Structures are given as structure tokens and as C-alpha cells.
Amino acid sequence: MLPLSLRYRSFLESAFSDLQERPSLTWDASLSELDLQSLWFAGEFGAEFTTAEGKQISIRDYGIWNHASGPDFTGCAVQYDGKTLRGDIELDPDVRDWERHGHGANTAYENVVLHLYTTSSSARLYTRTAQHREVIQVLLTPEMLRANVRPKRTAEARPGRCSTPLREMGESAIAALLESAAQYRLQRKGKKIHAIVRIHGREQAIYQCLANALGYRNNQRPFTILAQRLPLRMMLKQSEAQREALLFGVSGFLEAVRYEDTEPETRLYLRAIWKQWWKQRAAYADWLLPPNQPVWQIAGSRPGNHPQRRVGALSAMLRYWKRVSAPLLDVNSWNRKAFTDTLLALEHDYWSQHYTLLATPSKNSIAIIGKSRVQEMLANIAYPLLTLEDARLWEDYKKLPAVLDNQKVRRATLRLFGEHLNAAKFQKRLFQQQGLLQIYEDYCLEDDSACSECPFPERLKEWS
Ligand code: SF4
């Protein structure tokens, strides 16, 4: 436990008197069924639930994400009524989908032990199998994954009401506030990663998190889905060519490109991938991600962040997986330099020269993973995972310079510090940026009153 994180936590809880009393959330309309399944499989809804009957149920094994017909997750286990029930789990957006999709008459659903849904009906509807066995039901709510369904708003880009008390606050108090908020943030991230470790094992969790980080801002979820559907253990058994075929095939990018639109070099590359993909395609046909909206967000991304390039980066990571993962597998093996150097040195025969499958080759070699992405991986994966296992790493984390070029950080700084003369002092280190982001998310993004009802400025007096 990081001690300063407790101070920020109680600061936050007393500001809202009870976090549970915040206005109830509605589902983010952009979350698709695929997103919901991916969030479930990553354990983001949690593992303990109350059923529609008001009883407790806990998930012991999240099973396998099924890519054939039948229930969504197979080989699962739940603890219910003092017993371990083994079977399948089905997740539907609406409780009525069970009957609408004919699952109740389909014997392939006979082993379903848990029916999850995100919308219930006004009348109580039971879930029954073809044999008329009643299936346990759980309603999933947005509160269960509050951080993931935070409304996609951005606060106004102008100094907020708190910029005045912050200007009057001593530098050491501001520094302590940012450090506390940064510890709180790191700890929350660490707990999430450790939850994935518990569900899927450490190596798969690392792979999933690194893939997620490659999604940059707009494509994190599709990258997580890709890593969930193409699990590490299976990928490491494939040849490099087969892995590449699976990554570009399942991501949908391979089939979206017209041969005749590409450069000669790209045609050679595509031919090599297709040579492998056509043999595997039938087995993965149901899993192809559509290459354009809504799964992949391509519009507005910089060429270097194009998801095709990032899929190439994931392939390069898998090629050197032992070296990439070794520093994260055991806290005692942690070596920041080795981790950073390995990622920065990754190369790929094709992607070191290309931004997308349609681009002309670049004259200069392009980094497969750049410095700011590595910094994100340190901030969001390595240190959250490891600092929970050895709190002494906090001091090492504090030394990391702030190199993130992040619009959200700039907005948070403007909101909180306004024209504060020493604002730059509080953004030199990565942990300070992370602290700022935490405050911005906890207060600015929760505020609907243009600052007037935000409790942060008043609470600051107590902090000082
Ligand atoms: S919403 Fe609150 S924390 Fe954000 S700028 Fe306004 S007063 Fe400050």
C-alpha cells in the first residue's frame, strides 16, 4: 500500500461524502456488445455480484472467449450458494436477447450457468434453457466499471475556480497533493492489472496491457480484444509469419486492403501474410474485426499512431517476447533500462519503413515504439504492476521525466493552475502529470456546473 494514496483517497471521499452517491451513470452509447464482452473478460466489472434473486455469486474462472457458435464464454466456474458451478456464460445487451436469439431452445446453451445483461426489462423475465433449467441472472451496471464508462466529455479549456486557491497555496502543499493523487492513481491502475493477472495469469496480463497501450488513445479496446482473442500462449506457438497473419487477419486490416492500391514492396509483404492467412481464415472468420468504424478509430490519428502500424509493433513485440516481458515477470527482475532499451530497439522488416499498408515507404527508418509510448507503458503498466509488489519502486518512478505530449495534461494544467507562475514546476515529472490527471478526472470531468458546485476549491483549504 502506498501511504500517500490514502490521503488523496480520503480527500476525495470526503469531498463527495460518499463516492456511491454520485449521480448514477448511464451506459456510454459507443460501447458495443463486443466491448462489453471484452470488458467482462478483462474482469473490469469485478468478480463479486448480486443476482437478480438478491443472492451473492462470485466468478472463479472466466473461461475461454468462444469464437465458434454457442455461448460467449465456455469452461467457466462460479461460486453460488456454497457450490462451485461449472459451465458457460452468456452476455447480452438486453435480458430479452436470450429468447430473441433463440438461446432458450438451443441445446448448445444447455450448460450456461450465468446469464449477464446490461438492460433489464420492466417485467421480471427468467432465463431458461431448452431443458427448462433456470439460469442465474446478473444485471451489469455502468457503476461496476465507472472508470471505463466515464462520460466522454472534456472540460472547458479555461482556468477553473480552483486556480485561485491553488495560486495561494504553498508549493510544498501542492507538491504533496500531486504526489498523493499520483500514488492513488498508480495504485488503482496496479489493482486493475493484478485483477487481470488473477484471471488470466501474469504473462497474458502483461501481453494484454502492452497491446492495450499500443492502441494509444482511440484504439485501446480493439487492441485488448485482439490480445484476448489471440492469447499469448497460442501466439507463441506460431511461427512469426503465422502470428503476423493472425494479427492482420483477425484485425480485419488484411482483407480491407486492395492489392492494386498498394506499393510493390507492400504487395510482397501482403502476399507473404496471405500465404498463411488463407489456411487459418475459416477458423477465425467469426472473429474478424471490421477494419473501419466503429471498432477501429482511424480518423484523426497521426500516421505514426495508425493502428496498422501498431499491430505491426505488437508483432515485433511478440518476436522478442522473452526480452520484452522478462523485466515484468518478477519484481526482483525489474530493470527499467533493459525494458526501455528493448522496446526502443524493436525493428520490423516492413513496419520500420511504413506508416500504413497504403503508404509509400518512408526514406528514414521509423521507430516501431517511440519514447512517449514507452513512457506510457512505464506509467500505466510497469510501475503500477510492480510498485504494488514493492513500494520502494515509488522513488524510482518519481524520477521519471514528463515526456508525454498529452492534450489532456495541457487541459488539466490550464484548468487547475491557470496563469500560476510556477505551474511549469509541477509538470516536470511524470508522477506530477499523473497526479494532475487524477484530479482532473475526479473533479473536472465529474463537474456539470461550470465549477460552481465543484467541492475541490473549498476542500483545498483543508489540504493546506
Ligand atoms: S471543476 Fe473543480 S477542479 Fe475542475 S477546474 Fe473547476 S473548480 Fe477546479
CA 365 vs CA 241, 301, 348: distances in Å:
22, 20, 10
Atom of ligand 1 nearest to the CA of 455: 2
Q: pLDDT category, 446, cuts 50, 70, 90?
A: confident
Amino acid in position 285: A
**In this predicted structure, what is the pLDDT of residue 131?**
94
The verdict on the CB of residue 43 being under 6 Å from ligand 1 is: no
* 13-29 residues labelled b (16+ CB within 10 A) or e (exposed): eebeeeeeeeeeeeeee
Q: How far is the CA of 386 from the centre of ligand 1 (A)?
A: 32
Atom of ligand 1 nearest to the CA of 454: 2
pLDDT tens for 129-161 read 999 999 999 999 988 886 666 655 666 678 899
Question: Angle at the Cα of 180 (from 177 to 182), degrees rounded to 5?
Answer: 105
The verdict on the CB of residue 457 being under 6 Å from ligand 1 is: yes
Round to whole Å and give the CA distance between 82 and 41. Answer: 24
The verdict on the CB of residue 162 being under 6 Å from ligand 1 is: yes
Q: How far is the CA of 373 from the centre of ligand 1 (A)?
A: 29
The verdict on the CB of residue 160 being under 6 Å from ligand 1 is: yes
Identify the residue whose C-alpha is closest to ligand 1 atom 1: 444
Q: How far is the CA of 158 from the centre of ligand 1 (A)?
A: 10
The verdict on the CB of residue 15 being under 6 Å from ligand 1 is: no
pLDDT tens for 68-88 read 889 999 999 999 999 999 999
Q: How far is the CA of 15 from the centre of ligand 1 (A)?
A: 12
Identify the residue whose C-alpha is closest to ligand 1 atom 5: 160
DSSP state of 24: P
pLDDT tens for 26-82 read 888 778 888 899 999 999 999 999 999 999 999 999 999 997 889 999 999 999 999
Q: Domain coordinates of the chain in residue numbers?
A: 1-32+151-464, 46-139
Atom of ligand 1 nearest to the CA of 457: 7
**In this predicted structure, what is the pLDDT of residue 152?**
59
Distance of CA 185 to the CA centre of its chain: 15
Which helix H or strand E contains 61, and what residues bound it? strand 56-61
Rounded to two decimals, the pTM is 0.87
The verdict on the CB of residue 436 being under 6 Å from ligand 1 is: no
Q: Is the pLDDT of residue 18 over 70?
A: no
Mean pLDDT for the chain overall:
89
**What is the mean predicted confidence (pLDDT) over 288-306?**
76
Identify the residue whose C-alpha is closest to ligand 1 atom 2: 454
Q: pLDDT category, 117, cuts 50, 70, 90?
A: very high
* 199-209 residues labelled b (16+ CB within 10 A) or e (exposed): bbebbbbbbbb
